[in-house]
Amino acid sequence: MGDGRPTVLIVDDDPATCAALIERLAEDGLASEAVHDGVTALQRAIALRPQLIVLDLALPELSGDQVFQRLQADHRTRYTPVVFLTGSSRRDDKVRRSTSTSSRRACTRRCDGCARSAA
């Protein structure tokens, strides 16, 4: 990903969601890489140094909450912006979980374009 384009690390255990996000980000001129579990996410975040991380809350091995806490604890990734992604349709659950991770703001919005692309 050394072509100078901003890089986004996508962390989601659903390959269809990852593919849809990669396609959409490429349309906007962004490079991206997808990983499917929390342990690999931490390794790639340190190695890749992305400009943004899109992080699913429900992951195997380490949850999105746990990944976020470890990213915040590491001086190499502490200031990397993180956007939380969840398949949960319950707004209260999303807001509660994102604020419990000490994120600055919680924003809930459907990703209809992602759902259409993944279908």
Q: Which CATH number fits the domain that encloses residue 85?
A: 3.40.50.2300
What per-residue confidence (pLDDT) applies to 99?
47
Cβ(56)–Cβ(86) below 8 Å: yes
More confidently predicted of 87 and 50: 50
Cβ(36)–Cβ(15) below 8 Å: yes
Residue 119 has pLDDT above 90, yes or no: no
What per-residue confidence (pLDDT) applies to 1?
59
24 in any annotated domain:
yes
65 in any annotated domain:
yes
72 in any annotated domain:
yes
63 in any annotated domain:
yes
2 in any annotated domain:
no
**Side-chain half-sphere of 118: how many Cα atoms within 13 Å?**
15
Q: What is the pLDDT of residues 65-116, one digit of tens each?
A: 999 999 999 999 999 999 988 776 655 454 445 445 445 444 555 555 554 4
38 in any annotated domain:
yes
87 in any annotated domain:
yes
What per-residue confidence (pLDDT) applies to 116?
43
1 in any annotated domain:
no
Split at pLDDT 50, 70, 90, the class of 118 is: very low
State both tokens at 30. 């962004």
Cβ(114)–Cβ(20) below 8 Å: yes
Flag whether the pTM goes above 0.85: no
Structural domain of 92: 7-118
What are the backbone angles phi and psi of residue 56, rounded to the nearest 5°? -70, 145
Nearest to 38, CA basis, from 20, 16, 55: 55
Q: What is the pLDDT of residues 19-34, one digit of tens each?
A: 999 999 999 999 999 9
Q: Total domain count for the chain?
A: 1
Distance of alpha carbon 55 from alpha carbon 52, whole angstroms: 10
For residue 89, the tally of other CB atoms under 10 A from its CB is 9
Split at pLDDT 50, 70, 90, the class of 117 is: very low
52-56/7-11 β-pairing = parallel
